[in-house]
Structure 1
Amino acid sequence: MPEGPTIVVFKKRLEKFEGKKVTESDGYNNPFAEEISGKKLISVESYGKLLLLDFKDFLITVHFGLFGSFLINETKKVNASFSLFFGDDFINFYVVKIKKIEKDHDFDQELNVFSKKYKLEKTQKLLLEKYADKKIGDVLLNQDVFPGLGNIIRNEVLFLSKIHPESTVDKIPSKKIKELLQIIKEFSKASVELIEQKIWKSSSSVYKKKEWEDKEVLEYVAPKIKRKTYVVEKVQKLY
């Protein structure tokens, strides 16, 4: 499933359609075709794992799930689930789910590391107030706290902050929590360029790796969230 930085890359690729009128909308999983057709695409934004298409009177959210993708001015052999035509140009989305929501929908940008409104302190407060007794490796995938954060980022930032994923949130020193949140912000933003260069996964420190430097990377499946977890136990401290 694409993580936040990948959705930002998608957003950047689609920005060239901003300000253009949709001459036709189609797709087998698109109940909003008539409402979208004839509308101008005001802007393309991202929030967490969602692509947001602004049509002035409403937003269309695009969720890519595990297998979603899109092509510009190209088609696959299978039918598109959602399509937008701009005269001779078009976007075909495959295996995506879309929703229509109101413009005043509350996307909390203060939790969005890609937003200028992001507030690290708000994330820390939410983490400690609601998830103090949870394992940090589990909470990092909670989209209500960390929109856009997926399993690659989860493993990498815990390693970079030297925190074991089985650590209980309220046992981790406040200074380390702040360090972790800052690393999440910096790593997420830096990932955009790596994804564009197609070297994001290959440049990881521990994700799907057997060793880091001369130390073993332990692989296991986190019991509650059922996600593959990669840990250098000689580096990452259990709190």
Structure 2
Amino acid sequence: MPEGPSIVVFKKKIERFEGKTVTESGGYNNPFADEISGKKLVSIKTYGKYLLLDFEDFLITVHFGLFGSFLVNDSKKVNASFSLFFGDELINFYVVKIKKFGKDYEFDQELNVFSKKYRLEKTKKLLLEKYGDRKIGDVLLNQDVFPGLGNIIRNEVLFLSKIHPESTVEKIPSKKMKELLQTIKEFSKASVELIEQKIWKSSSSVYKKKEWDDQEVLEYVAPKIKRKTYVVEKVQKIY
């Protein structure tokens, strides 16, 4: 499933359609085709694992799930689940889910590390108040707290912050927690360029690696969230 930085890369690939009018909309999983057709695509934004398509009167979100993809001015042999035509140009989305929201609906950009409105302290407060007794490795995949954060980022930021994923949230020192949240922000933003260069996964420190700096990378499946976890036990401390 694409993580937040990948969605930002997707946005960059189609943002040239901003300000253009949709001459036709289609797709087998698109109940809003008639409403979208004839509308101007005012802007394209991202929130977590969603593309946000602003049509001024309403917002369409696109979620790629596990197998979603898209093509610009091209098509696959299978039918698109969602398509946007701009005269002679088009965007075809495959195996995606879309939803419609009213123009007044707002996503909490204060939790979005790619937003200028992001507030680290708000994330920290939410984390401690609602998930203090949980394991940090589990909570990092909670999209209500960390929109866009997936398993690659989860493993990498815990390693970079030297925190073991089995650590209890409320037991992590305040300074160390702030370090983790800052690392999430910085790593997520830095990942965009790595994804564009197609070296994101290969340049990871521990994700899908057998060793780091001659030390073994332990691989196991976190029991609650059922996700592969990679840990250098001599580096990452359990709190």
With structure 2 as the length reference, what TM-score do the two structures score? 0.99
1:53 aligned onto 2:32? no
Instruction: Give the secondary-structure state (helix, strand or coil) at the position aligned to 2:226.
Output: coil
Shift of 1:187: 0.1
Instruction: Give the secondary-structure state (helix, strand or coil) at the position aligned to 1:66.
Output: coil
- Structure 2 matches for 1:37-48, cutoff 5 A? 37-48=37-48
Aligned to 1:106: 106
Aligned to 2:25: 25
Give the Cα–Cα distance (whole angstroms) in 2 for the partners of residues 193 and 38 of structure 1.
34
1:219 aligned onto 2:219? yes
**How many pairs are equivalent?**
239
Instruction: Give the secondary-structure state (helix, strand or coil) at the position aligned to 2:137.
Output: helix
1:145 aligned onto 2:136? no
1:166 aligned onto 2:166? yes
- Structure 2 matches for 1:46-195, cutoff 5 A? 46-195=46-195
Counterpart AA for 1:137: G
For residues 189-217 of structure 1, the C-alpha deviation after alignment (integer angstroms, 9 at most, x for no partner) is 00000000000000000000000010000
Counterpart AA for 1:86: F
Aligned to 1:202: 202
Aligned to 1:36: 36
* Consecutive unaligned residues in structure 2, runs of 5 or more: none
Report the aligned-residue RMSD: 0.5
With structure 1 as the length reference, what TM-score do the two structures score? 0.99
Shift of 1:104: 1.6
Shift of 1:138: 0.3
Identity in percent: 87
For residues 34-80 of structure 1, the C-alpha deviation after alignment (integer angstroms, 9 at most, x for no partner) is 00000000000000000000000000000000000000001101100
* Consecutive unaligned residues in structure 1, runs of 5 or more: none
Counterpart AA for 1:182: Q
Give the Cα–Cα distance (whole angstroms) in 2 for the partners of residues 207 and 238 of structure 1.
19
Counterpart AA for 1:133: D
Shift of 1:106: 2.6
Give the Cα–Cα distance (whole angstroms) in 1 for the partners of residues 105 and 223 of structure 2.
34
For residues 93-122 of structure 1, the C-alpha deviation after alignment (integer angstroms, 9 at most, x for no partner) is 000000111122131111000000000000
